[in-house]
Amino acid sequence: MLSAHERQELRAISQHLYADDPDLARTLSAPTSRGRRIVALLLAMLAVTLIVFGLTPAGFPLLFFGTITAMVAACLFFGTA
């Protein structure tokens, strides 16, 4: 967790960024872009497909990679990556 001084410094930096370049500040503060969400949704569809085929006998590798793909898609969709 950040100290009060660090939070104050970040707030000051943020205010300067908004004053200097509001378009960049809005872009950086946006949770996710539309293109990023589309990639995340495509990855999620791929993940579901891999998981479904991974449920067959001897399909563990597909199940494993489907799960990993789903986690990556979630990170992209929610903006944590």
Each residue's pLDDT tens digit, 46-75: 999 999 999 988 888 999 999 999 999 888
63 plus 78 within the same structural domain: yes
Query: Which pLDDT does position 28 carry in this prediction?
Result: 66
User: Does residue 64 share a domain with residue 37?
Assistant: yes
Residues of 62-72 as b/e, b for ≥16 C-beta within 10 angstroms? bbeebeebbeb
Domain count, the chain: 2
Average pLDDT value for residue range 16-22: 85
Q: What is the pLDDT of residue 80?
A: 60
% of the chain beyond a pLDDT of 90: 26
For residues 43 and 77, membership in a common domain is answered with yes
* Residue appearing with tokens 């986690």: 71
Taking residues 38-42, what's their average pLDDT? 86
Domain of residue 7: give its range.
Answer: 1-30
18 and 44 inside one domain: no
Residues 46, 72, single domain; the answer is: yes
Per-residue confidence (pLDDT) for residue 64, from 0 to 100: 92
Q: Are residues 42 and 81 in the same domain?
A: yes
My answer on whether 36 and 26 are in the same domain is no
Q: Using the predicted structure, report yes or no on whether residue 81 has a pLDDT greater than 60.
A: no
**Same domain for 76 and 44:** yes
